[in-house]
Structure 1
């Protein structure tokens, strides 16, 4: 480990031996473990509330990107997790359908809002946030090739 790395950027071979029983030749970079995990699974990290979000979101986003789901209330965990499965498996076509499903399940308006807000960034990566993609192919786009006349100070 070099001096500029965080102490938790490695998985300790001693901890792996103690907790799992496997023997590693050396400590593993956490990024290596996450990369291997993503070959077989759909990993997510759920942050249960906004207070904890401030303390850990950046580090987890470095590892998992949009697969970090920030919730407003830990009581939404089951609905958020089920929504993720539905979105990934295609059982839920978009967030509007998920909101209707949650309504039928008796989730109140505030709870539905929290779940949808938590899932919107990830759903957008799948194109399932309910927002139609822009139709650029039929529109004339300006080229802005003309000189703006702006001059930089020397």
Structure 2
């Protein structure tokens, strides 16, 4: 391991054998498992409350970025999970459409606010947060994808 890698831990080959039944030659780095998972699936991590958020958000966010969804309370899990799928699949054009749908389901104002706050960062990555994109006057953003030369600090 080089100095700029963050140790995330390992998936135990013994637990894989016990829980799934597959045999691994060695423990696998969590980063490797997450990278492989993203080739086939759209993984998310829901952190169920603010107390646990303080303990684990940073590590999960380094692995999954905006696919880490931080809830204010576990009671919002169903609405947040459904909202994630609805936003990702395009069933809701934006957070306003989702909020309107949830309001029709008699979700309290407090819970509705908590659900929308939890989903706002991810919705923004899809351009579905309801915020218009800024208009740039005669300014063109660079189109190349060359490496900036900066290294990400972990």
TM-score by length of 2: 0.84
How far apart are residue 31 of structure 1 and its match? 1.0
Residue matched to 2:76: 76
User: Partner of 2:111: helix, strand, or coil?
Assistant: helix
Provide, for residues 74-126 of structure 1, a one-character-per-residue CA deviation record: whole Å limited to 9, x for no partner. 10000000000001100011000000000001101111100000000000000
Question: Is residue 135 from structure 1 mapped to residue 139 from structure 2 by the alignment?
Answer: no
Q: Corresponding residue for 1:58? A: 58
Q: Secondary structure at the residue paired with 1:15?
A: helix
Aligned to 2:103: 103
Q: Which runs of 5+ in 2 are unaligned?
A: 140-154
Structure 1 residue 62, shift from structure 2 partner: 1.2
Aligned to 2:47: 47
2:89 corresponds to:
89
Q: Distance in 2 between matches of 1:70 and 1:9?
A: 22
Q: TM-score, normalised by structure 1?
A: 0.84
Structure 2 CA distance, aligned partners of 1:87 and 1:67? 13
4+ aligned runs moved over 3 Å, structure 1: none
Q: Which protein shows a greater Rg?
A: 1
Query: Deviation of residue 42 (structure 1)?
Result: 1.1
Q: Report what 1:23 is aligned to.
A: 23
Tell me the distance in 1 between the aligned counterparts of 2:6 and 2:58: 15
Between the two proteins, the alignment pairs up a number of residues equal to 138
Give the SS at the match of 1:107.
coil
